[in-house]
Amino acid sequence: MTTNLRGAALLRDPRYNKCTCFTEAERQALGLVGLLPEAVDDEKVQLQRALTQLAQKPSNLEKYLYLSALQDSNETLFYRVLMSDPAAFLPLVYTPTVGEACLHFSHLLQRPKGLYVSLNRKGHVREILRNWPERDVRFVVVTSGERILGLGDLGANGMGIPIGKLALYTACAGVPPQFTMPVTIDCGTNNEAFLQDPMYIGLRQSRASEAEVDQLVDEFVAAVLEEFPYCCIQFEDWGRFDAFRLLDRYRERLCCFNDDIQGTAAVVLAGIFGALRITGGKLSEQKFLFLGASQAGVGIAELLAQAMVAEGLTPEQARARNWLFSSKGLVESTRADLSDFQKPYAHAHAPTKTFAAAIESLKPTAIIGVSTVAKTFDRQVIEAMARVNERPIIFALSNPTANSECTAEEAYEWSDGRAVFASGSPFMPVRYGDQTFVPGQCNNMYIFPAIGLAVYATRAKLVTDEMFIAAAHAVAEQVSAADLDVGLIYPPQSSILATEIRVARHVAEVIFARGLARVGEPKDIGAFIESHVYKPEYPAVTG
């Protein structure tokens, strides 16, 4: 690796900084003598020092801040820490800790990360993109901050989400970090507490109109394609109506996807495939009831329906096996308050106002919570599911942990240990009777980084739903019999990199088969994917 940086400037650059791992020859050649202590560490010693410092932090938020500072100072060491124990450290840089960080993001700001594209800069977006230091960007994760996890409108404080998502691209799937760019589209916020907070970092106005948002996003997308022609755009945590509208507008025109719609749907599908290895039966034989009828619920229902069609159902038959329940009751054909994206799932049924009553009537094999409202899978709900199913499938997916529809312990206890459970945020193993259950975390980290690695390697032109279905199958097939015996329906996060590389191979096969790649198809797709994987290793540095 060659750089023009020397001395203190080199130590301040997170991509090139090796801190105490600079060799004696590098210190002499690069003007570092005296700027570092005499000891020349190997990478194991440096990692142990970072882990020791991290362990001394008193809370997860403090650990998040430590890791954020480490990313700003030594990028390679940051990823070495995350990849040394993904199950322990990924929850610190993403869910659930990132939710708390976003709530206080303006107060925690130390060194700005990412790119802020404000409504005030309309007409100058391409100039803003040119301020980014890298000229080859392959992935943008962009949020409007309007619907952050289950926390609502956080405005510019939502920047923590694209930062965290892109860290997972690298830590989970080996996408090289220099090709990533986190972006916040700042169109104001309707969060009055933030507007009154003198430390709030965003545009201090109410959210702009739909037309103004669309104009800015159109300019942003066009500028990204002009500046970074091989870039894939991931839309993240947009408002309910913006999410579907923007995905429909761009999905056939450029390489993009919405993780809340497609990524969430794919990881739920993967979990269902895993659960069916416990309960038995085909996907097309199941009936699903969703608590929550917004972008996540409808997106999951649509991908489940597409996967059912692949098993032989018609689209109409497949959609009829998916039911939605909103805050106003069961989504059914007599309701006049439905959005267009909900109407395909408004089936004929008597109006039903309670979720437990809908379970008794519809007898779903699985309930999927995307409500963002805690404790909505109460004892009555779980017991109803246990009455109509020998092994009820219970997915409580709302994030962060405080918003989960139920805890793992509640699901197992109220179902007499028969539930097949997964959640959006992690829960510890649960002892019930003479058995220990290991709850699965239905986390998008199993899906979107692998999609990213496949897109990066193939330079794909588009991202399709077929790619997400392939990813779901590839995740589910990696769950072992031993995992299933303890109720775990996702592969262990401790081996997330190997899991994602395998998933990326399956996705790449679809990309090549559909003629969507902008590179030639290799003889060995698995080896081709492996050759693109980032490893957190220091190269030799010369001036």
Is 165 catalytic? The answer is yes
Q: Is 88 exposed, middle or buried (0-12, 13-18, 19+ CB in 10 A)?
A: middle
Distance of CA 391 to the CA centre of its chain: 28
DSSP 3-state assignment of 9?
helix
Q: DSSP 3-state assignment of 205?
A: coil
Q: Can you list the alpha helix ranges (DSSP code H) found in 293-407?
A: 295-310, 315-319, 355-362, 379-388
Catalytic residue among 16, 165, 345, 538: 165
Q: Which two tokens stand for residue 316?
A: 């109409």
23's tokens: 């060799």
Which of 16, 64, 79, 94 is catalytic? The answer is 94
Distance (Å, whole) CA 298 – CA 292: 9
CA dist 206 and 519 (Å) reads: 45
Contacts (Cβ under 8 Å, ≥6 apart) of 262 = 247, 299, 303, 463, 465, 468
**Percent of the chain that is helix, strand, coil (3-state, to 5):** 50, 10, 40
Q: How many CB atoms lie within 10 A of CB 3?
A: 14
Q: Which of 79, 170, 80, 138 is nearest to 500 (CA)?
A: 170
Q: Please give the backbone phi and psi of residue 459, each rounded to the nearest 5 degrees, phi first.
A: 55, 50
Q: What is the largest CA-CA distance in the chain?
A: 79
Q: Which amino acid is at 84?
A: S
What CA–CA distance (Å, rounded) separates 426 from 400? 9
Q: Are strands 435-437 and 430-432 parallel, antiparallel or unpaired?
A: antiparallel
CA distance to 139, 410, 439, 451, 519, per residue, from 434 (Å): 47, 17, 16, 40, 54
Identity of the residue numbered 475: V
Has 94 been annotated as catalytic? yes
Measured CA to CA in angstroms, residue 512 lies from 61, 150, 466, 504 at distances of: 42, 37, 12, 12
Distance, in Å, from the CA atom of 207 to the CA atom of 183, rounded to the nearest integer, reads 17
Active site residues: 94, 165
